Amino acid sequence: MGVGLGEWAEHEDLLPRFRVGQVVGGRITKIAPIGIFVRLAHCVEGLVPISGPAASSESFREGQEMSVQILMVDHERNRILLAGPLP
């Protein structure tokens, strides 16, 4: 499904409000082999990567709220890299 270009144009001003180092709350929208996708705002999602043998997504579920820290904001590719969960 995703977000259409028209919808993104309406919300593209949201991405700049997120800053590296900022701790924000969000809701898990999808759990994938590469990581956990967290919705930070309407039409803005970030990725918490899952890496290494000790990392696991088994203790998470879609719809769960979590706090994350913003590690990187890529304005050119409209991507946000996150670390979390944070207590």
Q: Of residues 74 and 2, which shows the higher confidence score?
A: 74
Q: What does the chain look like in DSSP terms, one character per residue?
A: ----HHHHHHHGGGGGG--TT-EEEEEEEEEETTEEEEEEETTEEEEEE--STT--STT--TT-EEEEEEEEEETTTTEEEEEEEE-
* pLDDT tens digit sequence for 15-55: 567 889 999 999 999 998 889 999 988 778 899 998 755 45
59: CATH: 2.40.50.140
Does residue 5 register a pLDDT over 50? no
Whether the pTM exceeds 0.85: the reply is no
Q: How many domains does the chain have?
A: 1
Can you tell me the distance from the alpha carbon of 37 to that of 10, in angstroms, rounded to the nearest whole number?
21
pLDDT (0 to 100) of residue 65: 95
Query: Domain span at residue 15?
Result: 5-86
